[in-house]
C-alpha cells in the first residue's frame, strides 16, 4: 500500500542536501486527491485521465492540469497556437518536395481558426475535464473535429513526408505550468515506475525544464530561480515571450524523433527544431541545449562530434555567452565567422585557415583551435579540455544550426533547388522504407557530395559550408 511504501522515507542526496523525493511524490498524490491509492491503481494513463485536460493540436496531444485552468489557461492557448504555427512552418519546409499539401493546409487553417477563437474564460469554467477532449467540451464544430483528426493522421502516418507506414500515434506533451507541478509530477513518476526511479529521483531534478516519462514529454512553463535551494523547488521564474519558443523546440524534437526513428541522429533532429524556432520567432532564445554541464545525460548518436544532447535542461546558463548575443537570429553566422577566424589565429600551422573553430575556456580567455570536421564518421572524437567544454558545446549548437541553414538555402544549388533537396532529405528520413544509413543519404540527394570528409574538401558538404561561411550573410 502507498502508506507502507511512503513509510520508508527515502531521502536522496541532491546538491549536498537531502531532498525528500518520496515525500514530494506523496504531496503530488495528496493534492490531486489520490492519497491511499496503490501503484496499480495509479498508472500514468489513469493519472493523466483523471487530472489533465486533453487538447489535441495537430500532430500533438497536449495534456494540461485541470487545476491550472482557472489561473493559467492563457498559457495553454499560447502554447497551442505556437505549436500550430510551427506545424505550418514545417509544411513550408516540405512544400518543395512536390507532395500534395492542399488538404493538410486547409485542415491546419481550420484548427488554427477554432483555437484562435477560444477565450481564457471558456477554459476557466472547465471543472470536470479529466481526460476529456477540449474539442468536445468546448462545442467545436464537427468539421473542425474532422480536420483535426485528418491533420493528426497525416503527421502520424508520415503522409506529409510521403511516408507509407502505419500510424505511430500522436506526440504527447504534458505541460506543467509551475515548477511545483513539474517537480512533483516527476517525483510521482519515480514512485510509480520503480524500475526507472534512478531517472527521476536524482540530483539536479529541481533545476530541470523537461523530462520524458516513458514516451510522454513533460515540460514546465517556468524556469527555476537562480541559486534556489532544492527544498525551494516551488519557486519559479516566468519564461515570458520565450515560452512559445521553448515548447515548440522541445515538441518538435519529439515529433522529428517520432517520425525519423533511428534513421536520424538526435543532434540532427535538435538542429532542425532550433531552425524551425528561428523561422517562427526570428530567434532561438531557449534553454534546451548547448552548455548543459551538470545535468543528467543520455546517450545520443553523433551528428556533430562531441555535440551530443545532454538532456532537456540547461544549467545555470549560457544565455549571456558570446554565442547567444544575437539569439540565433542570423543562424549564428556572425559568431561562427568570428570563431572560424579565431581558430585560424590560434593554430597558425594548420593546413587550412577555414577548417577550425576557436573556442575559449570558462573564463572567456585563451582561445584554442578545434579542427574540423565535426560531422559524421569523419569527425572522430574531439579532445576538449574540461574548462573548454562549455564553449565547445555552445559552438556545436551554433554550428549545426548554421550548417542546416546552409543545406536548406545553398547546398546543391542556391535557392529553390537547395530547398527542394532539403525537403527530399526530410522525406527520406521519414520513410521507413529508406534502407540507407544516415550519411549515405547525402551523396544520393546532393549530387554525390559526402556529408563530410577528413580534409573538409570541396567534395563534402561540410567542406563547402566552411568555405562559404566567411562570406555568408
**DSSP labels for 415-451?**
THHHHHHHHHHHHHHH-TT--S-TTTHHHHHTTT-BS
Closest CA to 285 of 257, 321, 252: 321
Of 222, 238, 254, which residue constitutes the final position of a domain?
Answer: 238
In a 3-state reduction of DSSP, which class is residue 175?
strand
207 and 313 part of one domain:
no
Beta bridge partners of 133: 54
Specify burial of residue 227 (Cβ count, 10 A radius: 0-12, 13-18, 19+). Answer: exposed
Dist CA 37 CA 67 (whole Å)? 20
302 and 349 part of one domain:
yes
| pLDDT score for 303 | 59
136 and 275 part of one domain:
no
Per-residue pLDDT of the chain (473 residues; tens, 9 = 90+): 223 222 223 344 344 358 999 999 999 999 888 888 888 888 898 899 999 999 999 999 999 999 999 999 999 999 999 999 999 999 999 999 999 999 999 999 999 999 999 999 999 999 888 889 999 999 999 999 999 999 999 999 999 999 777 767 889 999 999 999 999 999 999 999 999 999 999 999 999 999 999 999 999 999 999 888 999 999 999 999 999 999 999 999 999 999 998 899 988 999 999 999 999 999 999 988 888 654 333 333 335 554 333 333 334 444 568 999 999 999 999 999 999 999 999 998 888 999 999 999 999 999 999 999 999 999 988 999 999 999 999 999 999 999 999 999 999 888 899 999 999 999 999 998 888 899 999 999 999 999 999 999 999 999 999 999 999 98
Is 192 part of a structural domain of the chain?
yes
The position carrying cell 547567444 is 324
Listed in sequence order, the residues at least 6 apart from 272 whose beta carbon sits closer than 8 Å to its beta carbon are 252, 256, 404, 426
277 and 407 part of one domain:
yes
* Overall number of domains in the chain: 3
167 and 188 part of one domain:
no
Is 456 part of a structural domain of the chain?
yes
| pLDDT score for 465 | 98
Instruction: Name the pTM for this structure.
Output: 0.91
Beta bridge partners of 338: none
Is 244 part of a structural domain of the chain?
no
Specify burial of residue 366 (Cβ count, 10 A radius: 0-12, 13-18, 19+). Answer: exposed
318 and 445 part of one domain:
yes
Is 251 part of a structural domain of the chain?
no
Q: Phi then psi for 183, rounded to 5 degrees?
A: -65, -45
Listed in sequence order, the residues at least 6 apart from 61 whose beta carbon sits closer than 8 Å to its beta carbon are 54, 55, 170, 171, 172, 173
189 and 293 part of one domain:
no
Dist CA 189 CA 276 (whole Å)? 31
| pLDDT score for 306 | 43
209 and 343 part of one domain:
no
| pLDDT score for 312 | 36
Of 172, 193, 222, which residue constitutes the final position of a domain?
Answer: 172
289 and 433 part of one domain:
yes
Is 413 part of a structural domain of the chain?
yes
Is 67 part of a structural domain of the chain?
yes
Listed in sequence order, the residues at least 6 apart from 415 whose beta carbon sits closer than 8 Å to its beta carbon are 409
Listed in sequence order, the residues at least 6 apart from 80 whose beta carbon sits closer than 8 Å to its beta carbon are 55, 57, 62, 115
Residue ranges making up the domain that contains 222? 2-42+178-238
Could you tell me the three cell numbers for 17? 542536501
268 and 313 part of one domain:
yes
Is 212 part of a structural domain of the chain?
yes
Strands (E), 248-374: 356-359, 368-371
Q: How distant is the alpha carbon of residue 88 from its chain centre? A: 17
32 and 116 part of one domain:
no
| pLDDT score for 413 | 86
Strands (E), 225-278: 236-238
Q: Are 323 and 359 in contact (CB under 8 A)?
A: no
DSSP 8-state code for residue 118: -
Dist CA 246 CA 268 (whole Å)? 18
Could you tell me the three cell numbers for 137? 467540451
Specify burial of residue 128 (Cβ count, 10 A radius: 0-12, 13-18, 19+). Answer: exposed
Q: Are 218 and 174 in contact (CB under 8 A)?
A: yes
| pLDDT score for 292 | 67
290 and 422 part of one domain:
yes
Of 115, 144, 172, which residue constitutes the final position of a domain?
Answer: 172
DSSP 8-state code for residue 137: H
| pLDDT score for 39 | 84
Is 6 part of a structural domain of the chain?
yes
| pLDDT score for 354 | 95
Amino acid at each position: 500500500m502507498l502508506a507502507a511504501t511512503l513509510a520508508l522515507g527515502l531521502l536522496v542526496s541532491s546538491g549536498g542536501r537531502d531532498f525528500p523525493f518520496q515525500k514530494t511524490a506523496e504531496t503530488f498524490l495528496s493534492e490531486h486527491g489520490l492519497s491511499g491509492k496503490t501503484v496499480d491503481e495509479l498508472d500514468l494513463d489513469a493519472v493523466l485521465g483523471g487530472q489533465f485536460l486533453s487538447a489535441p493540436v495537430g500532430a500533438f496531444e497536449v495534456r494540461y492540469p485541470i487545476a491550472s485552468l482557472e489561473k493559467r489557461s492563457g498559457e495553454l492557448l499560447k502554447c497551442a497556437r505556437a505549436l500550430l504555427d510551427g506545424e505550418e512552418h514545417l509544411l513550408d519546409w516540405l512544400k518543395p518536395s512536390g507532395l500534395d499539401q492542399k488538404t493538410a493546409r486547409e485542415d491546419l487553417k481550420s484548427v488554427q481558426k477554432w483555437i484562435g477563437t477560444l477565450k481564457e474564460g471558456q477554459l476557466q469554467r472547465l471543472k470536470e475535464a479529466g481526460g476529456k477532449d477540449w474539442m468536445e467540451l468546448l462545442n467545436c464544430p464537427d468539421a473542425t473535429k474532422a480536420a483535426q483528426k485528418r491533420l493528426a493522421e497525416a503527421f502520424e502516418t508520415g503522409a506529409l513526408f510521403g511516408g507509407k507506414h502505419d500510424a505511430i500515434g500522436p506526440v504527447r506533451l504534458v505541460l506543467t505550468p509551475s515548477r511545483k507541478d513539474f517537480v512533483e509530477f516527476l517525483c510521482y513518476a519515480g514512485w510509480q515506475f520503480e524500475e526507472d526511479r534512478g531517472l527521476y529521483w536524482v540530483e539536479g531534478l529541481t533545476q530541470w525544464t523537461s523530462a520524458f516519462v516513458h514516451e510522454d514529454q513533460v515540460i514546465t512553463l517556468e524556469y527555476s530561480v537562480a541559486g534556489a535551494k532544492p527544498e525551494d523547488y516551488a519557486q519559479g521564474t516566468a519564461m515570458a515571450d520565450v515560452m512559445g519558443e521553448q515548447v515548440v523546440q522541445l515538441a518538435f524534437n519529439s515529433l522529428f524523433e517520432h517520425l525519423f526513428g533511428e534513421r536520424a541522429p538526435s543532434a540532427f533532429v535538435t538542429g532542425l527544431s532550433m531552425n524551425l524556432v528561428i523561422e517562427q520567432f526570428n530567434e532561438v532564445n531557449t534553454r534546451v541545449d548547448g552548455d548543459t554541464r551538470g545535468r543528467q545525460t543520455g546517450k545520443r548518436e553523433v551528428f556533430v562530434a562531441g555535440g551530443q544532447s545532454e538532456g532537456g535542461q540547461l544549467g545555470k546558463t549560457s544565455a549571456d555567452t558570446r554565442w547567444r548575443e544575437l539569439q540565433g537570429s542570423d543562424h549564428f553566422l556572425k559568431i561562427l565567422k568570428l570563431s572560424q577566424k579565431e581558430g585560424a589565429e590560434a593554430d597558425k600551422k594548420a593546413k587550412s585557415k577555414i577548417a577550425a573553430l576557436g573556442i575559449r575556456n570558462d573564463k572567456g580567455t585563451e582561445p584554442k583551435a578545434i579542427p574540423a570536421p565535426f560531422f559524421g564518421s569523419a569527425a572522430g572524437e574531439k579532445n576538449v579540455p574540461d574548462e573548454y567544454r562549455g564553449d565547445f558545446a555552445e559552438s556545436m549548437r551554433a554550428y549545426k544550426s548554421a550548417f542546416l541553414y546552409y543545406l536548406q538555402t545553398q547546398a546543391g544549388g542556391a535557392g529553390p533547388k537547395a530547398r527542394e533537396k532539403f525537403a527530399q532529405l526530410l522525406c527520406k528520413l521519414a520513410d521507413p522504407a529508406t534502407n540507407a544509413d544516415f550519411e549515405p543519404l547525402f551523396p544520393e540527394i546532393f549530387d554525390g557530395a559526402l556529408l563530410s570528409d577528413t580534409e573538409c574538401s570541396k567534395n563534402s558538404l561540410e567542406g563547402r559550408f566552411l568555405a562559404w561561411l566567411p562570406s555568408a550573410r
